[in-house]
Amino acid sequence: MYTQAMSVGPQDQAAKVRSAEDAQREEAFEARVAAGDFIEAKDWMPEHYRKTLVRQISQHAHSECVGMLPEGNWITRAPTLKRKAILLAKVQDEAGHGLYLYSAAETLGTSRDQMLDALHTGKAKYSSIFNYPTLSWADIGVIGWLVDGAAIMNQVPLCRCSYAPYARAMIRVCREESFHQRQGYESLLVMMREGTPEQKAMVQDAVNRWWWPSLMMFGPADKDSPNSEQSMRWGIKRISNDDLRQKFVDATIPQAEILGVTVPDADLKWNAERDSYDFGAIDWSEFWRVVNGDGPMNRERLGARVKAWEDGAWVREAALAHSRKQATKEQAA
Ligand SMILES: [Fe+2]
Ligand SMILES: [Fe+2]
């Protein structure tokens, strides 16, 4: 995942009154970050840095978990045992990514309950890519290729994020994302090389539907991304949204050519001068509509997460009752 929504959200107000001591600490902190030092959980950090990270890491964790829904929808309908085993493993990986990331966010002093409450009440965002439906089996391959591919592009720089627990979690996540991307691409390659004309058309249709939402995963254009500059200065973000989007297009178009599919962009053109592809304008009104809750699947996705939370209440209660019983036993001993 799925970091797109991270640069979205109100800019926190910097503390209005700062003591001289705080100013000194902040200066030392900024110098450490500028020198490429990593910040650990127990180190002093400015409140705004902490809040930015909690927002970013928790949104990332939510994206991993919500991201299981569109693909989980196809586990029982995978065409072969091999594809089912791969898809199961991938969806399970995404749950693991969510868990690493919730744990990383917890080191900043926020509880998992608080983060989940923010998701369930609609206060926290997750990547809007997961608010689109998976209509055919080809969507599963295209999600691996484009969505996990965009995720890798976004996440590799996060392995060098200044907040060490987040950076460490991202190293493992990125290794797994790379398997996700490859399994998706390979499944599309099989359909395009050995498939029937209907299967090939299904792949093209899936590419047509997922292309633009994948480009939106990099977030708003740099000029509309007010939090980005501060995040870059703090070493949370290393490469800007527009630069990452360009890198993704440049890496992906040659792969589309090998596959034998086209992307739905009449303005796409190689620009020898820039050594990059020029591409058409993104429909930002669609992006904001989906981010703000009105995409094709927003209500279903959130509804499924809230239901999972409510259905799991008995497990949490049982675990708490068990730990209370253990504690009483230990006290009595
Ligand atoms: Fe993931
Ligand atoms: Fe993934």
Q: What is the model's pLDDT at position 2?
A: 57
pLDDT band, residue 17 (cuts 50/70/90): low
Helices (H), 107-195: 112-120, 137-142, 148-155, 164-194
Q: pLDDT by residue (tens digit) across 163-189?
A: 999 999 999 999 999 999 999 999 999
Q: How far is the first Cα of the chain from the last one, in angstroms, to the nearest whole number?
A: 48
Indicate which ligand has the atom closest to the C-alpha of 148: 2
pLDDT at 111 over 80: yes
- How many other CB atoms sit within 10 Å of the CB of residue 143? 26
Distance from the alpha carbon of residue 48 to the mean position of ligand 2, in angstroms: 29
Q: What is the model's pLDDT at position 10?
A: 45
pLDDT at 3 over 60: no
Angstrom distance (rounded) from CA 167 to CA 237? 11
Q: What is the model's pLDDT at position 16?
A: 56
Q: pLDDT by residue (tens digit) across 28-49?
A: 999 999 999 999 999 999 999 9
Residue 208: in which H helix or E strand, if any?
A: helix 197-216
Q: pLDDT by residue (tens digit) across 299-319?
A: 999 999 999 999 999 999 999
Indicate which ligand has the atom closest to the C-alpha of 2: 1
Q: For the chain, what is the mean pLDDT?
A: 93
CB contact burial 278-287 (16+ within 10 A = b; e otherwise):
ebeebeeeeb
Distance from the alpha carbon of residue 178 to the mean position of ligand 1, in angstroms: 10
Instruction: Please list the residues that pair with 278 across neighbouring strands.
Output: 269
pLDDT band, residue 8 (cuts 50/70/90): very low
